Amino acid sequence: MSKQPIKYVFVTGGVLSGLGKGITAASIGNILKARGLKVNIQKCDPYLNVDAGTLNPAEHGECFVTRDGAETDLDLGHYERFLDQELDQSSSLMSGKVLYKVINDERSGRYLGSTVQFIPHVTKAIQKEIKKASKGFDVHIVEIGGTVGDYEGLSFLEAIREFGLGVGKENCIFVHVVYMPYLGASQEFKTKPAQNAVRELRGLGIFPDILVSRSENTAPASVIKKLSLFSGVSEDAIVLLPNASTIYEVPITLEENGIAKVILDKLKLKYSKPKLEEWIGLIERAQRTYKKSITIGIVAKYLDNQDTYMSVTEALKAAAWAKDIGLNIEWIDSTSLEDMSMSQVKSAIKCDGIVVPGGFGKRGIEGKIKAAQFSLKSKMPYLGLCLGLQVGVIAAARNAGLIDANSVEINLKTKHPVINTMLGQVGKENTGGTMRLGEYPCVLAKDSLAADLYKKDLIYERHRHRYECNNVYRDQYRDWGIKVVGYSPDENLVEMIEGLDHPYFVASQFHPEFKSRPNKPHPMFMGLISAAIANKG
Ligand code: GLN
């Protein structure tokens, strides 16, 4: 029997951005994977950037890093969490990456004198990347970033239209995510923007098979009839998605509304019962009202876009659910701590534990150092992630009297550069894709909290940084009240530190949050939550 052809699910969005297309795509992946299908997922972003590494987090949110070191859009984090699957760089395709390749090919004479054009050259290059990413999978889901009608997204839409024709109707399905506003004055949900959005997509030659209609609140089922009439999508293929109390609910909403059946039928895949018990258990934990709760402070600078810390907050929630405790997240503006005295810092941080997440640049860093100094002195549980480790080392040095201790990222001329530029990184400070990126091994010291938590002594974690602990100062760590508990196999790089005589001062040069899963919380976050529970008493 010949092998089943690869099936493709394309997810587009209309009306406005920020509708949760990524969550919808990830949720479709979740319910298909729950049937034992081998699923891959890819995000196509129309930005001209080559990757997400150079995008400003204030505008774009978290930069997620894959195991093989791609700097990607935060949707890849959702994908990994919803599919419980490690993705690679082929799952992130930005316009810049495609154009870069096309232009390089043109320069190297690959096009043999032909006129290089958006259609067919750019569209073909996009299709090639989609095909490549789908190899070896049963179903490949592709989310097109942005909103249909955006000028910059046109080549992606044309590419998937052609792709659909190429693979044939039975092997490809188009899902369009739209928005339905509620008009208070007339007390009704309005379908016109959704109708227009479908018309716009059809105008580009793409006929949606499934319509996902997002709204603030629950719309009456009667709007489905209207949407169906005006969009030409059958009623059973329209699903209403009001705001969910937790994003993890979306796969179940799709499942309960028969969307998996519509997809499987259309793609001529056999319908089977999904294994969703574990996922349903997760939603129950996410929605439960807990008798006790703890407060974790996140000391950060991008407070007007908390999406910057998406994987961190999801990792905290997962650990709290596993520990059966309610979680309040308190956002602490690191810039506001900068000019405070230690006693003012103490009253500003009224939490059971704190996280200092990753970050770049000068703004707010003195506040993060102060938070770490406070945690070392007061024995407040502390989890440091990448920059959080670096400020932990600076804080320990300053507490021990080296008041000028700093990172060369902040002050090149510091008297005590306890954090230094990594070998090979000098001069690359403003360039894209040049940091130490992706997964590296780390050896854990036997007598450490880290080894106890991981229950192993060799771990693999993902990195994204340019600076590191300066080995010149390593011998002084114990005098400063910290110790190295994780290092690269050649012992040259400090990868983890812990506080001495501290219930939980644990920090890593890597980003453990990228590997946490809603149902499989990460040991370092579990450790923080346990320590915070003990701290609260
Ligand atoms: N700015 C620091 C570095 O480049 C930390 C990076 C991070 O937190 N991801 O080393």
Residue 48 phi, psi dihedral angles, 5° rounding:
-80, -5
Q: Is the CB of 388 under 6 A from ligand 1?
A: no
What type of residue sits at position 64? F
Distance (Å) from CA 6 to ligand 1 centroid:
39
The pair of three-digit structure tokens given for residue 236, joined into one six-digit string: 């059973």
Please compute, for residue 233, the number of CA atoms within 13 A of its CA located in the half-sphere on the CB side. 33
- Under 8 Å between Cβ of 323 and 351: no
Q: How far apart are CA 212 and CA 192, in angstroms?
A: 15
Give nearest CA residue, ligand 1 atom 3: 465
Q: How far apart are CA 532 and CA 491, in angstroms?
A: 31
- Per CATH, domain 291-536 is 3.40.50.880: yes
Domains 9-282 and 291-536 share a fold: yes
Dihedral angle sign, alpha carbons of residues 491, 495, 499, 503: negative
Q: Which atom of ligand 1 is nearest to the CA of 422?
A: 10
pLDDT at 2: 57
Give nearest CA residue, ligand 1 atom 9: 358
Using omega within 30 degrees of 0 as the cis cutoff, is the peptide bond preceding 120 cis?
Answer: yes
Region of 364 please: left (phi>0), alpha (psi -120 to 50) or beta. Answer: left
Residue 227 phi, psi dihedral angles, 5° rounding:
-60, -40
Which CATH fold would you assign to the domain 9-282? Rossmann fold (3.40.50)
Q: Which atom of ligand 1 is nearest to the CA of 468?
A: 10
Q: Is the CB of 391 under 6 A from ligand 1?
A: no
| Domain edges within the chain | 9-282, 291-536
Distance (Å) from CA 387 to ligand 1 centroid:
5
Q: Is the CB of 140 under 6 A from ligand 1?
A: no
Distance (Å) from CA 363 to ligand 1 centroid:
13
Q: Per-residue pLDDT for the chain (537 aa), expressed as one digit of tens each? A: 458 999 999 999 998 988 999 999 999 999 999 999 999 999 999 999 988 988 888 888 999 999 999 999 999 999 999 999 999 999 999 999 999 999 999 999 999 889 999 999 999 999 999 999 999 999 999 999 999 999 999 999 999 999 999 999 999 999 999 999 999 999 999 999 999 999 999 999 999 999 999 999 999 999 999 999 999 999 999 999 999 999 999 999 999 999 999 999 999 999 999 999 999 999 999 999 999 999 999 999 998 888 999 999 999 999 999 999 999 999 999 999 999 999 999 999 999 999 999 999 999 999 999 999 999 999 999 999 999 999 999 999 999 999 999 999 999 999 999 999 998 888 888 788 889 999 999 999 999 999 999 999 999 999 999 999 999 999 999 999 999 999 999 999 999 999 999 999 999 999 999 999 999 999 999 999 999 999 998
Which amino acids are annotated catalytic?
Answer: 386, 511, 513
